[in-house]
Amino acid sequence: MTARRFSPRARARVPWVALVVVVGVALGVGANHPSAPTAPQREAAIDASLRCPSCEDISVADSSAPTAVAIRQLVATRVAAGQSDAQIDAFLVSRYGPGILLRPPVSGITAAVWIVPVVAMAAAGAGLAVVFWRRRRLETVSVAADDRRLVARALAEQAGGGPGPGRDTAPVP
Amino acid sequence: MSERALRRRHAARWVAGSALVIGVGLVVLLATRPPQAATEAYSPLVGHPAPAIVGTTVGGSSFDLDSLRGRWVVVNFFASWCPPCQQEEPELVTFAYEHRAPTDAALVGVVFDDSASGARGFLQGSGATWPAVVDPGGQVALDYGVRGPPETFLVAPDGTVAARIIGPVTSAYLDASLRQAEQAVA
B124-170, pLDDT tens digit by residue? 999 999 999 999 999 999 999 999 999 999 999 999 999 999 999 99
pLDDT over 70 at A132, yes or no = yes
Distance from CA of B29 to the nearest CA of A (A): 24
pLDDT at B15: 87
Q: Do the beta carbons of residue A33 and residue A25 sit within 8 Å?
A: no
A116-126 pLDDT, tens digit per residue, is 889 999 999 99
* Residue A67 to residue B143, Cβ atoms within 8 A: no
Most confident of B3-17, B24-38, B44-58: B44-58
pLDDT at A130: 92
Distance CA A16, CA B94 (A): 79
pLDDT at A166: 45
* Residue A94 to residue B42, Cβ atoms within 8 A: no
Mean per-residue pLDDT of chain A: 84
* Residue A53 to residue B145, Cβ atoms within 8 A: yes
Count of Cβ atoms closer than 10 Å to residue B68 Cβ: 20
Distance CA A117, CA A45 (A): 26
pLDDT over 70 at A86, yes or no = yes
Cis omega (within 30 of 0) on the bond before B150?
yes
pTM greater than 0.80 (yes/no): no
